[in-house]
């Protein structure tokens, strides 16, 4: 039996502070959570709400969004409002799921964890 | 009129990787979101879901939790399951709200942003 998780893909090619990266990741995570399939959310909640944080750049973020959508996964991206560090509209993060681990891994399996 | 925000207090005195810190912050953010007053959540959502990420250590996390609870604010903390980097049960993050900015500021106003 496969477990459930949420993947949070975060751009590391932008000049974001750690605090900014954390806020963007939380925005994406919550946005995808609200949009995800309710049964998948329930399975994820009872199994400990696993989250993984993966490194992308502008191009791989777009590619992974298309791959995830083609696989029928819930995706939500975050664009920065541009009030502080970034140009308005810059896409900073993409969350996928919560959904089945193996479905998410088939899209994000080649990405590195953010250390 | 005051706005709405959520404060995420994150320990920087632990030896957590950036990815680990991000995941812990997202856990706390979502946990407090589900628990918060529904009207405050609604106001926060329509006003752009402001989140701030603040630096604490073990002692100030406990102090801020007590202060927030005494002010009637929603708080949710996260304990690490201890599967990877930390000792099981280590408290890593505390989210307050979403709630009125001035109520949250009265508790967290002396904390520094995570840079």
ipTM: 0.94
**Whether B96 contacts chain A with CB within 8 A:** no
Share of chain B above pLDDT 70, in %: 99
Nearest to B22 among A17, A49, A114 (CB): A114
Which residues from chain A sit within 8 angstroms of residue B8, using beta carbons?
Answer: 22-23, 26
Check B52 against A23: CB less than 8 A apart: yes
Q: Which pLDDT band holds residue B1 (cuts at 50, 70, 90)?
A: low
- From the list A23, A51, A115, which residue is nearest B53 (CB)? A23
Query: What are the sequence ranges of the domains in chain A?
Result: 4-108
Residue A84 has pLDDT above 90, yes or no: no
In the predicted model, is pLDDT for residue A5 greater than 80? yes
Q: Is B30 in CB contact (< 8 Å) with chain A? A: yes
Q: Residue A19 — left, alpha, or beta (φ > 0 → left; ψ -120 to 50 → alpha)?
A: alpha
Q: What is the distance, to the nearest Å, from the Cα of residue A65 to the centroid of all Cα atoms in its chain? A: 9
Q: Give me the mean pLDDT over the A23-48 stretch.
A: 96
Q: What is the pLDDT of residue B33?
A: 98
DSSP structure string for A22-91 = HHHHHHHHHHHHHHS-HHHHHHHHHTT--EEEEEE-HHHHHHHHHHHHHTT--EEEEE---SSSS-TT-E
**What homologous superfamily is domain A4-108 in, according to CATH?**
Bit1 (3.40.1490.10)
pLDDT of residue B11: 96
Nearest CA in chain B to A85: B115
State the average pLDDT over residues A36-50.
96
β A4-11/A51-56 pair status: parallel
pTM of whole model > 0.90?
Answer: yes
Measured from the Cβ of residue A32, the count of other Cβ atoms closer than 10 Å reads 26
pLDDT one-digit tens code per residue, B26-63: 999 999 999 999 999 999 999 999 999 999 999 999 99
B111 contacts: CB under 8 Å, gap ≥ 6: B9, B54, B55, B56, B60, B64
Q: For residue range B78-111, list pLDDT tens digits in order.
A: 998 777 777 888 899 999 999 999 999 999 999 9
User: From CA A53, how far away is CA A72, in angstroms rounded?
Assistant: 20
pLDDT over 70 (residue A78): yes
Query: How many beta-carbon pairs below 8 A join chains A and B?
Result: 67
End-to-end Cα spacing for chain B? 28
- The pLDDT of residue B46 is 95
Cβ(A22)–Cβ(B53) below 8 Å: yes
Distance from CA of B30 to the nearest CA of A (A): 6
């Amino acid at each position: 039996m496969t477990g459930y998780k949420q993947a949070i893909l975060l751009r590391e090619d932008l000049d974001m502070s750690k605090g900014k990266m954390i806020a963007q990741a939380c925005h994406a995570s919550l946005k995808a959570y609200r949009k995800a399939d309710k049964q998948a959310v329930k399975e994820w909640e009872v199994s400990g709400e696993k989250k993984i944080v993966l490194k992308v750049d502008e191009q791989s973020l777009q590619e992974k969004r298309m791959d995830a959508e083609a696989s029928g996964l819930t995706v939500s991206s975050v664009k920065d409002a541009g009030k502080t560090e970034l140009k308005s509209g810059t896409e900073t993060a993409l969350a996928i799921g919560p959904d089945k681990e193996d479905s998410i891994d088939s899209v994000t399996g080649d990405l590195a964890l953010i250390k």
